[in-house]
Amino acid sequence: MIETLDNLLTLSTETEVVEFKEAKFRYDKDKLGQYFSALSNEANLKGIETGYVVFGVKNDKSIVGTEINDEHLNEYKNEMAQHTSPRLSFGSTTRIEKDGKQVIILKIPAAPRGQPVSWKGHCYGRDGESLGALHDNERDSIKAQNVTFDWSAQVLPEASIDDLSKEAIGFGRQQYIEKNRKIEAEILKWDDITFLNKAKITIQGRITRTAILLLGKPESDHFINPAQAKISWILKDKDNLEKDYEHFGCPFILAVDAVRMKIRNLKYRYIQDGSLFPDEVDQFDPYIIREALNNCIAHQDYEYNGKINVVEREDGILLFSNMGHFIPESVEQVIRADAPESRYRNPFLANAMVNLNMIDTTGSGIKRIFTIQKNKYFPLPDYDITNNNVRVTITGKVLDINYARKLVSMPALTLNEIMLMDKVVKYQPIDDKDVTLLKSKGLIEGRKPNFHISMSVAKVTNEKDIYIKNRGFKDDHYKKMILEYIDKYGSATKRDIDHLILDILPDILDDNKKANKVRNLIYSLSKKEHLIDNQGTVRFPKWTRALTK
């Protein structure tokens, strides 16, 4: 590192991957995070492993030294790991004595392939010495890197067919026959190597990472180390406390059904409603379990060295999660397109899973999950695609049978519109273009971000009371209530007005927004309309009628 410092000091100026900071005592964490993001992204774009931030050196390369201690450095490390996405921290922090003064070199790892690094949700870059937002073309360049490299297709020279499970190969062959019934007799004559080559699980008889994941013996997972071939099933009670768990490894083609069997798929009994509903249904459709889990396997970013999780809650909820960002723009885009994705994170693995009848290429899997839930009047799946994770929540029960039944019965609504309405009811954000769509059809009202169902939907679904609670009343109604209270009792404190108004403000507003609403009403009555005066103090107001009404 002494040699590294000497080389850095010979640079004529700072570069896209080198930053000198005087930082005699401390350095701003937020600014350091921005430089971390920028240098990490620039290192990736330049094809080098590391960028550098050097504390104790000025821009003119003069050494001033730094008194930043190990406690401060630990704070910086934790801060970087907390607010970068994907989560990264310094490759190393090294103290060097130079000219009798302390200098600290912070190594910034290059952004992972296909993953631009953001700091608090924003990606930064460098133009020479200048710090700024990462250009769109540079962001796209990093994201496109996964297209040219396929982790799942890499050959493992030390592995052989003896490292694969005979049972898994046999099951895989049967699945392959299901996809290719016309040549069943021929498939049955193939030896194992021929079958694996034909199914594109191996490459010219050589074992791939895909072969180990899908068909490998449990003890063969060391071939893909440090990546993990692990699915964890966790059972939690209604208070989110862990009650049971089990881990499943290679071969994944058999693990999927093993995980499914662990899930306590209870029967859900509907309220009788003539002949429209069956007496009972499975809480979780078997197709949904297999599809969600196989999607986790196909789209997991194995270079993060994480595992796939399936969390089952006793209150009728399943949560599937895998590492890696969601490649399509959004779930809504997948539903609208109703077509195969143009690119995959693990194309070799995905293709092998198609050949083994684990997933399909029609792009309809996610849409079918939504449709199954809709037809059962269960809540639609929730997709959380933040922080380089994909988390899918499936609810195995009816939350509001009347609302669900009547909303689905509105013939003019498409599945995409039902999905968006589902997000509005759950108070989840929707894109501006989706707001425009729903408003143009008269389905929602309100202002961003506080949207709620419209009166037309409320009438159809018998949700008129919910509509009023979300929309609230016009300001004049609340002002009239405040004035009538003061007229009756002579005065009103802040506590009095809060008790009078807060409970009837729109449910869609949180506590802070409700408090702001009350403040705005009082401000309007006193400062704009001059109808009330404060006879108390700023801290303890006591509102009375103004002398001139």
* Length in residues, the chain: 549
Residue 213 and residue 207: Cα distance in Å, rounded? 11
Select, from the ranges 125-139, 197-211, 489-503, the one with the highest average predicted confidence (pLDDT). 197-211
Regarding pTM above 0.95, the answer is no
130-133, strands of its sheet edge to edge: 84-85, 118-119, 122-127, 130-133
pLDDT in tens, 472-485: 466 787 888 899 89
Pairing of strands 242-248, 18-21: unpaired
Residue 36 and residue 27: Cα distance in Å, rounded? 13
Residue 201 and residue 185: Cα distance in Å, rounded? 20
Residue 298 and residue 353: Cα distance in Å, rounded? 8
- Domain 475-545 CATH (choose: 1.10.238, 2.60.40, 1.10.10, 1.20.950): 1.10.10
Q: What is the CATH number of domain 231-342+358-459?
A: 3.30.565.60
pLDDT band at 454 (very low <50, low <70, confident <90, very high): low
Topology annotation, domain 2-146: 3.30.950
The pLDDT assigned to 253 comes to: 97
Q: HSE of 55 in the Cβ direction (CA atoms, 13 Å)?
A: 23
- Comparing 78-92, 97-111, 220-234, 373-387, which segment has the lowest mean pLDDT? 373-387
Q: What is the SS3 string spanning 13-42? A: CCECCEEEECCCCCCCHHHHHHHHHHHHHH
pLDDT band at 470 (very low <50, low <70, confident <90, very high): very low
Domain boundaries, the chain: 2-146, 153-224, 231-342+358-459, 475-545
Q: Is the pLDDT of residue 259 over 90?
A: yes
Residue 477 and residue 196: Cα distance in Å, rounded? 73
